[in-house]
A and B are shown apart, each in its own frame.
Chain A
Amino acid sequence: MNKIVSKENFSENVIKLEVEAPLIAKSRKAGHFVIVRVDEKGERIPLTIAAADVEKGTITLVVQKIGVTSIKLCSLNVGDEILDLVGPLGRATHIDKFGTVVCAGGGVGVAPLLPIVEAMKKAGNRVITILAARTKDLIILEEQMRKFSDEVIIMTDDGSSGRKGLVTNGIEEVAAREKVDCCVTIGPAIMMKFVSLLTKKLEIPTVASLNTIMVDGTGMCGACRVTVGGKTKFVCVDGPEFDAHQVDFDEMLMRLGAYKEEEKADMYKVGK
């Protein structure tokens, strides 16, 4: 069960895992996530599905080494099994023919953006994909994105690849030259906050996929709650995608830090 069939290092800290999960591969749609528990003592963490191969019966996860669980997960090798893998969870992305769609991804958020880019393209949209990272080595999935995008814009903080600047500079550039009907953004919360602020100003309807803390992932605990349009929503069952302009990103950023100290204290378990 849940055997790792291939592993690829995107960069030192970002790993791609292809995992045997035939039922999930068959039922998942763009935007869905899974909950993973690595071992008996492990915690449950959500990871958005980056790709699936129904024939092979596999799903692809892209993981960044951040804390104990992600480091443990990245240390697994081909042939190893993930103890628990459950999904697909959350609501699928609303795919429609909008016209021109900007897909703006940052960091490992680019991975779950890939199936959305693909689905948006297949729905007949003009898709402009903007990939952002600190530096060249951290840009992932560029080739795959090009397959389904009419245009791919690369933005790096240091200018080592594509253009120097932030993801928001890329969006501004596109919006200045053509009408954008819809924007989808996935990445670090702080990035999505600034994308949202910009597209609100530009009046571009925007969807953000939120990556909050979860325990069960099935609506049971409420750890993932966020304020959307003044109302408390659960990311796991009401999301993970929401109208970005309604999301209280400051509260979300605050809540993401809930266990910072406990998480830091646990790093000895992975030799850090």
Chain B
Amino acid sequence: MAEDRNVAWREELRKSLSNKERTALTRVKMNELEPAYRARVREEVNQGLTKEQALQESKRCLDCPNPTCTQGCPVGINIPGFIKNIERGEVLEAAKVLKETSALPAVCGRVCPQEKQCESQCIYKQKLKKEAVAIGYLERFAADYERESGQISVPEITCKNGIKVAVVGSGPAGLSFAGDMAKKGYSVTVFEALHEIGGVLKYGIPEFRLPNRIVDVEIDNLRKMGVDFVKDCIIGKTLSVEDLEKDGFKGIFVASGAGLPRFMNIPGENFIGIMSSNEYLTRVNLMDASNPEYDTPIYKGKRVAVIGGGNTAMDSVRTALRLGAERAMIVYRRSEDEMPARLEEVKHAKEEGVEFMTLHNPIEYFGDEKGRVTKMRLQKMQLGEPDASGRRSPVEIPGAVVDVDVDEVIVSVGVSPNPLVPNSVSGLNVSPKGTIVVNEGMQSSIPMIFAGGDIVRGGATVILAMGDGRAAAKAMDEYLKK
């Protein structure tokens, strides 16, 4: 990275504007659809930056000699490198820089919590006490620009080495791993249990935040790099690890995700109309259930409560609005400060009319004679001492309960690792929580099996999963070349 900072055009670019002029510029605002309109449609809320906005924002980046932003990126994107390419007007070059380390730039530009990663390490934030360079918006801009230009570059593939590796799961960890291994010359096959490639990017994250066609373009790009995809195939069920070995696969990367949704185990939780966010979002996103032409049914609640305060909860509650909810509520047991969701998601949800019932926790559900949920009983909470997560813990206020009418409840209180693969591979070291135990090189107790993403972490973000994919690719490459 340091070398390319010294290329002539970059030195010139730095001189073209003084740091004082650069820091005097204000951070660009994302173009968004109007809340009243967007809350009833599936269109993407964030509309991206115009070329003019992106050029202007790229000027804010000081092209630091020791850029701290890159240290905040789990996949190590050359951030100043791509931003300076935007500034000099070479947006396609910028996209190429992104693809050197990220298999999914258009996805990351949309769903990464940049404010907690690269942007939190930006010199503007660290030293100047100003708003960070909008790295995420610029990343999205470069990726979108390339896609819309029709001149999509395919990363260079080093000479094919003929070694076969398998990937279990086609979510962000698996795709990131597949991209890196293909670049290194391996023959990569990705096995996916569902009928669509993309994992959580398809079944989980809604269209209004990450359109499926964006994900498909990134997957196509991997296909062009020679990655094979096999749908409807469950490793550990349809094919065993032994089958893969017999088939000549020398390494396996397990990225099967955090499948199992958690419930709260409170009375009435199995009434009809109460479901996990995984079920709700899968019906809507993967199965297109709200489209009458599709066969999968969905219940379109009028008074919908979503339990939880994470990004998945925000996705669910905003989906409920789009399916016609008159009242869409977030019920969260702590206060807004402790919410794990991205600030942007909370802001968007509020703008769209979502009610936030913080410091409330459901303790019981009631149903009608058909078993359909009609009411939830909430325990009011207050904040106590910090708990193991470092956040102030929710404590019940004795006797303070309130009943709220609901006709649909989406439980979004976390997920557990998918047990299918861990259960079916003998000799695999699995933690009591069900996650696969790996070393720093993402290698499991079985040397040929590596693992990453939520099956190792138990529930994290797209970008951390992608970082695992990269780390595993590096380590598996070293292992296989020994």
Question: A41, A251, A259, A269: which contacts B297 (Cβ < 8 A)?
Answer: A259
> Could you give 13 example pairs across A and B, Cβ below 8 Å?
A84-B231, A85-B232, A216-B203, A218-B193, A218-B194, A219-B420, A222-B276, A222-B278, A223-B275, A237-B420, A259-B297, A263-B297, A266-B297
Q: A43-B296, A218-B420 are in contact. Are A251 and B270 (CB under 8 A)?
A: yes
Contacts of A225 in B (CB 8 A): 263, 270
Among residues of B, the one whose C-beta sits closest to the C-beta of A218 is B193
Partner-binding segment picked from B33-41, B79-87, B234-242 = B234-242
Chain B's nearest CB lies how many Å from the CB of A191?
20
A262 B237 Cβ-Cβ under 8 A: no
Whole-angstrom CA separation of A225 from B274 in the bound complex: 11
Number of A-B contacts (CB under 8 A): 122
Question: How many residues on B have C-beta within 8 angstroms of the other chain's C-beta atoms?
Answer: 41
Whole-angstrom CA separation of A219 from B274 in the bound complex: 17
Contacts of B299 in A (CB 8 A): 258-259, 262
A16 contacts the other chain (CB 8 A) = no
A47 contacts the other chain (CB 8 A) = no
B127 contacts the other chain (CB 8 A) = no
Question: A88, A251, A254: which contacts B238 (Cβ < 8 A)?
Answer: A88
B195 A237 Cβ-Cβ under 8 A: no
Please give me the 3 A-B residue pairs with the lowest Cβ-Cβ distance, nearest first. Answer: A262-B297, A254-B371, A221-B279
Among residues of B, the one whose C-beta sits closest to the C-beta of A86 is B232
Which A residues contact B (CB, under 8 angstroms)?
Answer: 23-24, 27, 37, 41-44, 68-69, 83-89, 215-216, 218-223, 225-227, 231-232, 234, 237, 251, 254-255, 257-259, 262-263, 266, 269
Give the contacts of B268-306 with A (CB-CB under 8 A). Answer: 269-270, 272-273, 275-276, 278-279, 282-283, 287-288, 293-299
Among residues of B, the one whose C-beta sits closest to the C-beta of A270 is B295
Question: B238, B261, B275, B295: which contacts A87 (Cβ < 8 A)?
Answer: B238
Chain B's nearest CB lies how many Å from the CB of A23?
5
Q: A218-B420, A262-B299 are in contact. Are A23 and B272 (CB under 8 A)?
A: no
Contacts of B270 in A (CB 8 A): 225-227, 232, 251, 255
Question: A44, A85, A219, A259: which contacts B419 (Cβ < 8 A)?
Answer: A219
Whole-angstrom CA separation of A269 from B403 in the bound complex: 40
B129 contacts the other chain (CB 8 A) = no
A27 B237 Cβ-Cβ under 8 A: yes
Q: A222-B279, A266-B295 are in contact. Are A83 and B195 (CB under 8 A)?
A: yes
Chain A's nearest CB lies how many Å from the CB of B416?
9
Contacts of B203 in A (CB 8 A): 216, 220
Name A's interface SS.
Answer: mixed
B25 contacts the other chain (CB 8 A) = no
Whole-angstrom CA separation of A43 from B286 in the bound complex: 10
Which B residues contact A (CB, under 8 angstroms)?
Answer: 193-195, 203, 231-234, 237-240, 259-261, 263, 265, 269-270, 272-273, 275-276, 278-279, 282-283, 287-288, 293-299, 370-371, 418-420
Contacts of B282 in A (CB 8 A): 215-216, 220-221
Contacts of A218 in B (CB 8 A): 193-194, 234, 259, 418, 420
Q: A23-B233, A87-B238 are in contact. Are A232 and B195 (CB under 8 A)?
A: no
Whole-angstrom CA separation of A170 from B193 in the bound complex: 41
A41 B265 Cβ-Cβ under 8 A: no
B238 A86 Cβ-Cβ under 8 A: yes
Contacts of A266 in B (CB 8 A): 295, 297
A37 B195 Cβ-Cβ under 8 A: yes
B295 A223 Cβ-Cβ under 8 A: no
Chain A's nearest CB lies how many Å from the CB of B302?
15
Counting chain B CB atoms within 10 Å of each CB, the highest count among A44, A88, A222 belongs to A222
Question: B194, B263, B279: which contacts A223 (Cβ < 8 A)?
Answer: B279
Chain B's nearest CB lies how many Å from the CB of A3?
14
B272 A257 Cβ-Cβ under 8 A: yes
Contacts of B288 in A (CB 8 A): 41
Contacts of A232 in B (CB 8 A): 263, 265, 269-270
Among residues of A, the one whose C-beta sits closest to the C-beta of B204 is A220
Whole-angstrom CA separation of A222 from B418 in the bound complex: 12
Whole-angstrom CA separation of A109 from B344 in the bound complex: 50
Whole-angstrom CA separation of A218 from B404 in the bound complex: 33
Chain A's nearest CB lies how many Å from the CB of B239?
6
Whole-angstrom CA separation of A79 from B167 in the bound complex: 32
B279 A215 Cβ-Cβ under 8 A: yes
Q: A88-B238, A215-B287 are in contact. Are A220 and B259 (CB under 8 A)?
A: yes
Contacts of A43 in B (CB 8 A): 287, 294-297
B297 A219 Cβ-Cβ under 8 A: no
Contacts of B259 in A (CB 8 A): 218-220
A258 B193 Cβ-Cβ under 8 A: no
Chain A's nearest CB lies how many Å from the CB of B82?
35
